[in-house]
Structure 1
């Protein structure tokens, strides 16, 4: 589902990079999506990347080599096999080292994409209820992404909603950026409380009383056609991760890393829908 707020102003990438160079808290990152195949004992058999040309051979190899070292809880295999495949998204972070080169690490990984009947799926009608774009943010070319965590009941209604993190694509004084984060988060949560979802009808999650999901809202003042032309690496100011008190009620539910921002735009991630890592995803350069 596309929840981008369309407008008529375009934020200059070149200007963003100039401002970023004057700060120490900016971050360059990329999402690499693909498929991971896991054996019944939790070992990884194969890893593929969707767009290897965009990611480039060295990064593809880095993601594949890293993922092959992961180990998961035992999985239920697909019919007639001894393995199971999952959709996977990896968040890469590039940081400038003292020698001027860039080190790349894996910060997080998510599984599933909200497209199967065993997961919570989006409702197309939610597209008609986007959040309001703050006029003050439009006037100042402020853009960003809000990462939401929601609780969905058996009827598909949102019973709890909060913003866990807000990343901004433009830079300013910290107190001003905090105002922008709060405006984006408030609008996103208000809109999310009106949404409904299609609940799981197959698999182990179908019998649950409710589900925790994560999704995102992109506040952009670009036209949709321009938004889809993203560079592989994106530079932004990451916001702090916010503790969500009501989420603690569901800590006993199976998670898969609970990485907030390792989630492609406009997708839904259902907690417990993917495989569970026994240890955190390893990091390297």
Structure 2
């Protein structure tokens, strides 16, 4: 654990009692980079509070003021906005506190482990991200409740792995990347590279049975994956730091190796149509010889 993480967790222990004395609080935990142990000088402190009934914004502001918070802000947040996202500063550092009703989290856990929910909000698999936060929580209050949710989330459902992978099988013909490379259409090429990389990561989270935490701290989460193409993260770096031709070649190999892993780990998924689409070549029109 980094020193930055340890300091943030120590600060969280000072903040939490201002909220946990409320009889409607059921749990409180640290999530994000501090809980992972990877915080650095740029990291916020992220806290979660679970309530039997969500409080008013005024009640949350009063609690924050009791610990000396400054620059307090709040907004509706979360799945169908059934939560508060509170933001304030302590010792010049931003603290983000999410506030959820217990019923909301109960329903999210059920959606993930029983309904195999792979819905997204933008790029974020929001319900799976909450599942990931629960699994990796540094618990400050309500350990029994967090343990209950963690037990529900383990093991990762096989049906969710299948749903995650199937959702990502939308690769277009990779020949388009070769065309963009030849033309040096750099913005379009790298925009596509970003999309393809996200699809690969989504697939790898699925076949590794890891609840999708989002796209921050990618190096950390890739390091946790036992199933991945060799030297996966180093090769991702080459995709974005090499010349266009090298990047395109490397990305194509990563996609093909990931397809192979899907077939090995989830043989019930049929990749034939996806492979045919991926390998299809676009037409070329040669100039006539008698032009």
TM-score by structure 1 length?
Answer: 0.24
> Which of structures 1 and 2 has the larger relative contact order (alpha carbons within 8 angstroms, sep 6+)?
1
Mark the structure with the bigger radius of gyration. Answer: 2
Instruction: Give the structure-2-normalised TM-score.
Output: 0.24
Q: Which has the higher helix share?
A: 2
Of Structure 1 and Structure 2, which has the larger fraction of its residues in strand?
A: 1
